[in-house]
């Protein structure tokens, strides 16, 4: 029965669009291990959010029956709401309390000490509970278990802060034992990330599996095949309209907000041209203001829509559907699996339509190997100097602290000690018998955020005062500079003014079909080596890098990338110090490449590698940057490793480092192998967006050579084999 129904669906689609080729998407079931009532320090791998909620609540209930209170940490207020609502539904209204709710500190403290399940974000602990822990004595005494909901959300900068927040929580509990557990949804290194966050040896943490598995038909086509009939986005919209007429539900997932806007417009216009009723799909993407978001959630709850268009991060809030179309493939394998597990049943089918992006093309060409491929890893970096210093001040503001309370690692303790003394000299801390204590006037936890960047948000507003979106200040450079054209719920706007004091970007309606792209130039210097891989002459390392970015203006484009005009204007440059995965490549690996082409070979290889970076590390293109350069003569810019040759650095885009470079360093062989494979398999001649042309290149993709990049890749592969 089951196979019949989705086979019919597949037949109906392939008879209309015969160039779609059929294969199978499979997730192997993996069920292993049980949680005992008094287990501690374990992580459970599950396949979707609902399973993560089930296991979190199941264990919390058993702890509650034994008289213990569990504190669940979620990465968003919305997730906190969902966990609390599910808990109340199952165990009664007095079981759980949402600490992210707008309630007074007094109610939080008294109600919180009576409930068995407390749910909040790291921010609530950091900003409200820990700085005023004397008000929460009973609540803190009651909590004996901390449960991290959906571990991969606690990677990077947020996870690095969380490391210290959990330490501060342990300090506030005055040595009373805390046990930890976590849920992870398709995370390649759940146990090691969990161990890193709770500062415990991963070997001493348990890992359990609860993956149900799924097997559904999957249709796919290359960009060329889809472009030969229409375009991938037109195709996705057409399939959605077709299924709607048969009463079936389709979910179309896109990789960008602007693409979601385009698809929704296309669906409406196709359906009205067909003479049928005009279809207004449910359009759901990030960046909306709260009111709009609430409206959309109501529409989702009503379940009446037949076509949904969403950016893939938000798919987890959508119901299951008959057909799932990926337009542009999610940038990590974990996210592909997560979306499919959430949105499909064994009766559904799947369509994968790649973008002209490296990774998409690679996935479609290797669709069969995806089934067996490992999920990506995530990392944190508690030694990020910005995070470390900020959190030390917060901890020292709560009580006097010593390095050994904040880390088990001796090297980390020394770094903490240095920072404590430095801040003492600056007069922010004083040394007491029991450690260092903060003496400044402003409480550090009340200022500054935990999410990386500068945590400053801007609001996009029309000249008539209508609020459109809220976005992170880092997007000013890329999406919301003066003159930038953007889409919002089917309308186009162009930035007309920026008020840096009020943090407002004004915009006006835009009627032309043109679009804009920023030009950004960067300067780099390598500071020091953090860690080397001792094989292969130590030429692969994790290094410290300083990057300054200059916004020099933007291009106004039309059609498929034709530049109409360059508009010259500058924004304040940004400097960051972070961590880079550094490949230093000796000159003999450039054999068969003319000296004048070293730069083009390196640049091509750099793009190819960044393009597939998310096969090893959970990240997206906003998380990282890259640079490559030729080395003439001895090279000792802080990294004394090489004379003549070249280097490629792939660095974390957030100040202090977010852990992406670290996670990639741990799997760099796999990364290089995938990148070389992708360069060799791409059928284009001189390079295309599927192999070496990057949407984010600061040099507008100039000085790129696919031929020489491929030769370099081949030489590197020989080197990898020889040095193994
Ligand atoms: Zn290509
Ligand atoms: Zn580039």
Mind listing the pLDDT tens digit for each residue in 165-199? 999 999 999 877 899 999 999 988 899 999 999 99
What is the overall mean pLDDT for the chain?
88
Closest listed ligand to the CA of 681: 1
Q: Are 581 and 685 in contact (CB under 8 A)?
A: no
Flag whether pLDDT at 205 surpasses 60: yes
Instruction: Give distance in angstroms: CA of 40 to centre of ligand 2.
Output: 47
Closest listed ligand to the CA of 356: 1
For residues 683 and 689, what is the distance between their CA atoms, to the nearest angstrom?
A: 12
Flag whether pLDDT at 451 surpasses 70: yes
Question: What does the block give as tokens for 183?
Answer: 């849920």
Domain range annotation of the chain: 2-27+214-370, 30-211, 385-446, 457-512, 519-723
Task: Choose between 477 and 281: higher pLDDT.
Answer: 281
For residues 300 and 294, what is the distance between their CA atoms, to the nearest angstrom?
A: 10
Contacts of the segment 261-264: beta carbons below 8 A, 24+ positions apart = 261/285, 261/487, 261/488, 261/489, 261/490, 262/233, 262/487, 263/233, 263/236, 263/237, 263/309, 263/327, 264/309, 264/490
Tell me the pLDDT tens digit for each residue of 37-70: 777 899 999 999 899 999 999 999 999 999 999 9
| 327: alpha, beta or left? (left if phi > 0; alpha if psi -120 to 50) | beta
Closest listed ligand to the CA of 697: 2
Instruction: Give distance in angstroms: CA of 451 to centre of ligand 2.
Output: 27
CATH class, range 2-27+214-370 = alpha beta
Closest listed ligand to the CA of 702: 2
Domains 2-27+214-370 and 30-211 fall in the same CATH topology = yes
Closest listed ligand to the CA of 607: 2
Torsion of CA 635, 640, 643, 648, to 10 degrees: -70
Closest listed ligand to the CA of 701: 2
Phi, psi angles (nearest 5°) of residue 553: 140, -170
Instruction: Give distance in angstroms: CA of 520 to centre of ligand 2.
Output: 11
Question: Which pLDDT belongs to residue 560?
Answer: 75
For residues 626 and 647, what is the distance between their CA atoms, to the nearest angstrom?
A: 11
- Please compute the mean of the pLDDT values over residues 620-629 and round it to a whole number: 81
| 221: alpha, beta or left? (left if phi > 0; alpha if psi -120 to 50) | beta
Question: Which pLDDT belongs to residue 417?
Answer: 97
Tell me the pLDDT tens digit for each residue of 13-44: 999 999 999 998 888 899 988 877 777 899 99
Instruction: Give distance in angstroms: CA of 264 to centre of ligand 1.
Output: 29
Question: Which pLDDT belongs to residue 723?
Answer: 62
Question: Which pLDDT belongs to residue 643?
Answer: 63
Instruction: Give distance in angstroms: CA of 535 to centre of ligand 2.
Output: 28
Instruction: Give distance in angstroms: CA of 690 to centre of ligand 1.
Output: 5
**pLDDT band per the 50, 70, 90 thresholds, residue 2:** very low
Question: Which pLDDT belongs to residue 1?
Answer: 33
* CA-atom Rg of the chain in angstroms: 26
Tell me the pLDDT tens digit for each residue of 271-299: 888 777 889 999 998 888 888 888 888 99
For residues 29 and 210, what is the distance between their CA atoms, to the nearest angstrom?
A: 8
Flag whether pLDDT at 71 surpasses 90: yes
Q: Which residues on adjacent β-strands are paired with residue 284? A: 310
3-state secondary structure of 362: helix
- Please compute the mean of the pLDDT values over residues 263-271 and round it to a whole number: 92
Instruction: Give distance in angstroms: CA of 684 to centre of ligand 2.
Output: 18
Tell me the pLDDT tens digit for each residue of 553-583: 999 998 877 888 998 988 888 888 999 999 9
For residues 506 and 515, what is the distance between their CA atoms, to the nearest angstrom?
A: 17
Flag whether pLDDT at 123 surpasses 70: yes
Closest listed ligand to the CA of 520: 2
Task: Choose between 313 and 180: higher pLDDT.
Answer: 180
Q: How many C-beta atoms lie closer than 10 Å to residue 571's C-beta?
A: 18
Range with the lowest mean pLDDT among 334-348, 613-627, 628-642? 628-642
Task: Choose between 417 and 5: higher pLDDT.
Answer: 417
Flag whether pLDDT at 636 surpasses 70: no
Closest listed ligand to the CA of 698: 2
Tell me the pLDDT tens digit for each residue of 315-330: 878 899 999 999 988 8
Assigned superfamily of 30-211: P-loop containing nucleotide triphosphate hydrolases (3.40.50.300)
Instruction: Give distance in angstroms: CA of 361 to centre of ligand 1.
Output: 9
Q: How far is the CA of 503 from the CAs of 68, 458, 461, in angstroms?
A: 45, 5, 10
């Amino acid at each position: 029965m089951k196979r019949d129904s989705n086979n019919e669906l597949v037949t109906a689609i392939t008879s209309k669009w015969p160039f779609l080729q059929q294969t199978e998407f499979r997730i192997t079931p993996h069920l292993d291990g049980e949680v005992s009532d008094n287990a501690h320090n374990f992580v459970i791998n599950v396949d979707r959010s609902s399973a993560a909620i089930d296991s979190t609540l199941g264990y919390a209930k058993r702890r509650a029956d034994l008289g213990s209170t569990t504190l669940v940490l979620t990465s968003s207020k919305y997730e906190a709401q969902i966990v609390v609502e599910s808990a109340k539904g199952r165990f009664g209204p007095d079981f759980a309390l949402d600490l992210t709710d707008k309630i007074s500190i007094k109610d939080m403290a008294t109600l919180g000490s009576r409930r068995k399940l407390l749910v909040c974000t790291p921010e609530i602990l950091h900003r409200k509970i820990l700085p005023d822990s004397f008000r929460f004595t009973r609540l803190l005494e009651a909590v004996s278990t901390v449960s991290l909901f959906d571990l991969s959300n606690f990677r990077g900068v947020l996870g690095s802060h969380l490391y210290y927040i959990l330490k501060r929580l342990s300090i506030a509990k005055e040595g009373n034992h805390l046990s930890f557990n976590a849920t992870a949804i398709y995370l390649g290194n759940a146990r090691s990330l969990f161990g890193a966050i709770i500062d415990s040896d991963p070997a001493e943490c348990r890992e359990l599996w609860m993956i149900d598995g799924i097997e559904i038909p999957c249709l796919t086509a290359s960009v060329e095949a889809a472009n030969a009939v229409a375009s991938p986005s037109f195709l996705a919209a057409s399939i959605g309209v077709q299924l709607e007429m048969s009463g079936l539900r389709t979910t179309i997932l896109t990789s960008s907000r602007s693409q979601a806007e385009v698809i929704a417009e296309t669906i409406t216009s196709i359906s009205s041209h067909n003479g049928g009723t005009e279809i207004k799909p449910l359009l759901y993407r990030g960046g909306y203001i709260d009111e709009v978001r609430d409206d959309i959630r109501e529409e989702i709850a009503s379940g009446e829509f037949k076509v949904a268009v969403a950016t893939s991060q938000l798919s987890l809030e959508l119901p299951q559907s008959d057909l799932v179309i990926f337009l542009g493939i999610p940038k990590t394998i974990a996210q592909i699996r997560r979306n499919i597990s959430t949105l499909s049943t064994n009766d559904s089918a799947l369509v994968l339509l790649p973008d002209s992006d490296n990774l998409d093309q690679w996935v479609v060409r290797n669709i069969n190997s995806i089934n067996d491929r490992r999920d990506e890893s995530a990392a944190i970096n508690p030694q990020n100097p910005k995070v470390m210093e900020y959190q030390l001040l917060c901890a020292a503001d709560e009580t006097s602290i010593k390095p050994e309370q904040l880390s088990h690692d001796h090297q980390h303790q020394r770094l903490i000690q240095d920072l404590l003394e430095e801040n003492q000299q600056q007069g922010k801390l004083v040394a007491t018998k029991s450690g260092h204590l903060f003496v400044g006037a402003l409480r550090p936890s009340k200022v500054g955020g935990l999410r990386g960047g500068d945590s400053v948000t801007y609001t996009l507003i029309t000249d008539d005062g209508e609020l459109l979106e809220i976005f992170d200040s880092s997007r000013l450079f890329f999406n919301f500079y003066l003159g930038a054209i953007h889409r919002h719920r089917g309308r186009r706007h162009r930035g007309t003014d920026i008020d840096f004091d009020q943090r407002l970007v004004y915009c006006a309606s835009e009627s032309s079909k043109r679009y804009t792209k920023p030009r950004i130039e960067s300067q780099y210097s390598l500071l020091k080596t953090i860690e080397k891989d001792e094989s292969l002459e130590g030429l692969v390392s994790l290094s410290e890098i300083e990057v300054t970015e200059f916004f020099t203006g933007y291009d106004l484009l039309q059609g498929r990338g034709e530049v109409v005009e360059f508009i010259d204007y500058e924004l304040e440059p940004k400097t960051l110090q972070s961590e880079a995965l550094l490949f230093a490549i000796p000159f003999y690996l450039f054999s068969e490449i003319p000296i004048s082409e070293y730069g083009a070979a390196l640049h091509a290889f750099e793009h190819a590698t960044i393009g597939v970076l998310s096969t090893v590390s959970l990240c997206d293109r906003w998380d990282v940057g890259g640079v490559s350069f030729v080395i003439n003569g001895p090279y000792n810019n802080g990294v004394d490793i090489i004379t003549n040759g070249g280097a490629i650095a792939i660095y974390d885009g957030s100040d202090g480092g977010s852990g992406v470079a670290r996670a990639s360093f741990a799997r760099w062989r796999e990364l290089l192998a995938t990148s070389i494979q992708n360069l060799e398999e791409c059928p284009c001649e001189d390079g295309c967006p599927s192999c070496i042309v990057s949407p984010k290149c600061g040099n507008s993709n100039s000085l790129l050579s696919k031929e020489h990049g491929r030769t370099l890749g081949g030489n590197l592969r020989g080197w990898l084999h020889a040095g193994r």
